[in-house]
Chains A and B, each alone.
Chain A
Amino acid sequence: MINVAKNGSQVLQVNGLSTASLVNPDGEGEKWAEAQDASLKVAGAGEPIVILGIGSAFHIQSVQKKLRSKGHRGRLIALDCCHESVEFANRSLVDVELLHVDTACGVDFFFARHDVASWVTQPFVLLRHKPTFQRSGQSLRFVETWLLGRTPEAFSAQLKLRPQIAAALNADRSRRLAETPLVSVRDLSKAWDISSELKTDRRLFRILEELVR
């Protein structure tokens, strides 16, 4: 269902809940975009920006405007588990990749999707639209967990996207990672196989280990 906010903008309603402000949804979206400055600052000019939570997409439009003014050339990708949000946003957004995620299909299916695999192994900036998170229950949290790749299940799924790293880990030591609540660079430092010391990926992680020393 679509409502009209006081400022005249159309706002999507899902399951009786508004997905944006009914007073000034554009202003609300701009405010959220301003709050993402610190996260957006680190993004390289060509890096994908991934927004979790589409809602009525006002916040996505605001971030898009901000990124364009800074000369950002990378992809802007938005994910949601709500069909209605994706369809609604499709009507108003241009040059934004809108992905509907069905969490019932599982993490491996999610990463096997072409429209996910094409960016998830690059450095990307992850933004979360908290109001949408609060409305969506657990589903967006699952997607967040998958993208963060820190739970044992999500880490394991992300490793499948990076077979060269998986091949360099010691099978026994890697099993211990499954017992860790959240995997970190420090945890990973104990899981490498001795034979992989000369490999590029191991050496890249040596650099990261120096940073967390």
Chain B
Amino acid sequence: MKILVVNLLRLGDVIAMAPAMKAIRLQNPGAEIHLMVNSNFSGAARLFEGLHRVHRFERDRIQAACVEADRPMFEAYDWLQRFVEETSDVGFDHIYNFTHNRLSGWLCGLLQAPKKTGLVLDGSGAVSFGSSWFRHLNQQVDFDDVQTFNHTDIFLGAVGGWELVSKVDFFDTLLLESKSGRAEAGARLSGLQISTQKIAFQISTSDPKKEWGEARFKSLAEKLLSAHPEARIFVTGAPNERERIEKFCKSCDVPAGLIQPAILTLPGVISFLEEMDLLITGDTSIKHLGSAGTARVIELIAGSADAFRTGSWKPGDYVVASREACAPCGHSEKCHRDVHACAIAISPAAVAALASSVLSAMQLRDVRAAMHAFATVQVYTVDRSEGPVQLVPLRSEHITDHALALTIERAARRLSLEKREGRFEKLDVGSEMLKVRQGLLRRFPDARPTELRHALADGETRLRHAEGMLNSLKIQLLRLKEAFQDPKRMLEMVSMVAAMRGRLQKNPWTRFIAEPLIQVIEDDRSAPFARFRKLSDAVQDLGIRLEIGLKLLRGLEIELENEAENEIDKEAKNTNSIETRIKNSTGEQA
């Protein structure tokens, strides 16, 4: 079996597919796994266990050949033609495209393989995804941030990795360390005592908009070292960043030696981070290395960094973002503000307080208390109780329909995607439901089972009502099957669907199940059969989501009912015990 994994994005995106790569390897023992990456990032291939060969896509070269007038006109074409031929000649059985852009879609459309998962464009530009998860990735561009799945989890879903996650310590050892990397890290840390607290700063990012700012990092360093005088700070960077980092370290107003540069190669930084107690970083590839390793990560979100889609993904890590309305901004947009507001809003004092909490191994409730005063920042913990990453606000949330529905709908959406992939039957719905319960506990730690149960019961009522609407829609669809060529009947049906969609979208409990209906549009010019097909698919998808949503809700309600009963029993026992003690002590006094 020969498998090709294509990722033509940047280094951080290549590292973010580490869980998916591990899943592919575990599912296909003995398979030859090839990786296609941009030649700039081919070093990242060494991080993945079991790779047979790396195919280097010379993006910079062919792009330059296209735009520079002093390069041969056909250089890029000749190179690409040869590359596609040589890659196809390997004879792949399965191609995974984790790049999800048009360039990779066209490329994967040309590569020969019987099975392709991910965005593929055929000659006419028609799109196929090969997986409900990748189709979902395309759709979630339009979602609210809090609804979205982290891309790491989408990749994992697309390769069928969710079954594996619960079976093994899956997220341990995602990336390979090398001997040379260990030696490099060891040399950098020589002389330090094991007990010294080690903190890594990653001050630079690929885009100045995403940088928190050297001045703020400086202030953070001074605060941290004042609170933790035994700690050491290492400012990480690649060899081409040496000058900047050395200048930064010299400019910090701290005793000599407490803050030092750590200029490392990629293998070196992987091993180096394994020795760190804490990594404080912007949205960079180092962040993803931190998520794949053992160091706790505090990610500082600024500019176009998207915490929900591409943020930190290791449980227990933290994400700190401003509450500025303009964040996140678009990748290619220039900042329209006079000041870098989203970075300024994250004060060094807030980050120092959070970092101190992590270094002191505080319990979550104490971290919450420590951060309570910092109103301009939103702090999230990365939680994987349910499986996919959830960014849970550090401040306790009150139970609202919106917040509760969001938790349920994410779980239902994941399970419905697995059902579309034919994997739902392999899942244990009971344990999936318990995972959702864990997620609710994390999100609403102060909520009592009874309170949750009542809120969920409301949600169930809404979904049952939607179920009624769906049943009448199914009947109409059956009638339309005989008459879909009639434009009037088709339009009536589409209008009914649009009206139903509008009603469902008004309520947070039913908003997510309405998503499949978004693709049913009134001015669709496809052929009648294609329109009917889209309608049927949308209704089927809606039915799957409803079914799963109701199963989850019912299961949770029963679980919460049991918990509520246990609570009552416990209270009763406590009350009896107190009364007995009072009686006994009164008796003694008498």
Contacts and interface: CB of A to CB of B under 8 A. Distances in A.
Do A and B come from the same complex?
A: yes
Contacts of B76: 185, 208, 211
Contacts of A184: 66-67, 69, 73
Nearest to A200: B110
A199 B66 contact: no
Contacts of A147: 72
A57 B138 CA distance: 56
A207 B79 contact: no
B59 interface: yes
Given A149-B73, A200-B110, A206-B106, A122 B82 contact: yes
A155 B107 CA distance: 25
B465 interface: no
Interface string A94-134: 00000000000000000000000000011110100000000
Contacts of B102: 210
A183 to B, nearest CB: 6
Contacts of B123: 197-199, 202-203
A201 B74 CA distance: 12
B58 interface: yes
A72 interface: no
Interface in A147-188: 147-150, 155, 158, 162, 165, 182-185
Contact of B58 (A42, A124, A199, A208): A42
Contact of A204 (B60, B69, B77, B125): B77
A162 B70 CA distance: 20
B84 A204 contact: yes
A201 B76 CA distance: 12
B585 interface: no
A155 B103 contact: no
A17 interface: no
A4 B436 CA distance: 86
Given A149-B74, A155-B73, A210-B103, A203 B80 contact: no
Given A123-B75, A148-B71, A210-B103, A197 B124 contact: yes
Contacts of B79: 123
A198 B107 contact: no
A205 interface: yes
A126 B61 CA distance: 13
B110 A212 contact: no
Contact of B106 (A148, A150, A198, A203): A203
B74 A121 contact: yes
B122 to A, nearest CB: 8
Contacts of A210: 101-103, 106
Contacts of B588: none
B9 to A, nearest CB: 13
Contacts of A204: 77, 80-81, 84, 110
Contacts, number: 88
A185 B73 CA distance: 8
B69 A211 contact: no
A191 to B, nearest CB: 13
A150 B62 contact: no
Given A197-B123, A197-B124, A150 B103 contact: no
Contact of A212 (B59, B67, B69, B109): B67
Interface residues of B, number: 35
Contacts of B73: 148-150, 155, 158, 183-184
B63 interface: yes
Contacts of A123: 75, 78-79, 82
A206 B76 CA distance: 12
Nearest to B63: A211
Contacts of B103: 207, 210-211
Nearest to A161: B74
Contact of A185 (B66, B106, B109, B121): B66
Contacts of A212: 63, 66-67
Contacts of B80: 204, 207-208
Contacts of A211: 59, 62-63, 66, 76, 103
Given A197-B123, A204-B80, A211-B103, A42 B74 contact: no
A200 B67 CA distance: 22
B124 A198 contact: yes
A201 B123 CA distance: 10
Interface in B392-433: none
A124 B65 CA distance: 11
Contacts of B107: 207
Nearest to B39: A42
A127 B347 CA distance: 53
Contacts of A199: 123
A126 B72 contact: yes
Given A211-B59, A212-B66, A203 B110 contact: yes
Given A203-B123, A208-B66, A208-B80, A126 B71 contact: yes
Interface in B78-129: 78-82, 84, 101-103, 106-107, 109-110, 121-125
B106 A207 contact: yes
Nearest to B76: A208
B42 to A, nearest CB: 13
A197 B122 CA distance: 10
A148 B74 CA distance: 8
Nearest to A144: B70
B121 to A, nearest CB: 8
A187 B62 CA distance: 17
A124 B72 contact: yes
Interface in B30-84: 58-63, 66-67, 69-82, 84
Contacts of B106: 203, 206-207, 210
A72 to B, nearest CB: 16
Contacts of B59: 211
Given A122-B78, A207-B103, A208-B62, A150 B124 contact: no
Contacts of A207: 80, 103, 106-107, 110
Of B77, B78, B84, B106, the most chain A CB neighbours within 10 A belong to B77
B260 to A, nearest CB: 32
Nearest to A151: B73
Q: Which of B62, B74, B75, B76 has the most CB of A within 10 A?
A: B74
B316 to A, nearest CB: 39
B78 A121 contact: yes
Given A204-B110, A210-B102, 12 more contacts: A148-B71, A155-B73, A158-B74, A162-B74, A182-B69, A197-B123, A197-B125, A201-B81, A204-B80, A208-B77, A210-B103, A210-B106
Interface of A: 42, 121-124, 126, 147-150, 155, 158, 162, 165, 182-185, 197-208, 210-212
17 contacts: A42-B58, A42-B60, A123-B82, A149-B74, A184-B67, A184-B73, A185-B66, A197-B125, A198-B124, A200-B110, A202-B123, A203-B109, A203-B110, A207-B103, A207-B106, A207-B107, A208-B62
List the 7 closest A-B pairs by CB distance, nearest first: A198-B123, A123-B79, A210-B103, A149-B73, A123-B78, A42-B61, A211-B63
Interface of B: 58-63, 66-67, 69-82, 84, 101-103, 106-107, 109-110, 121-125
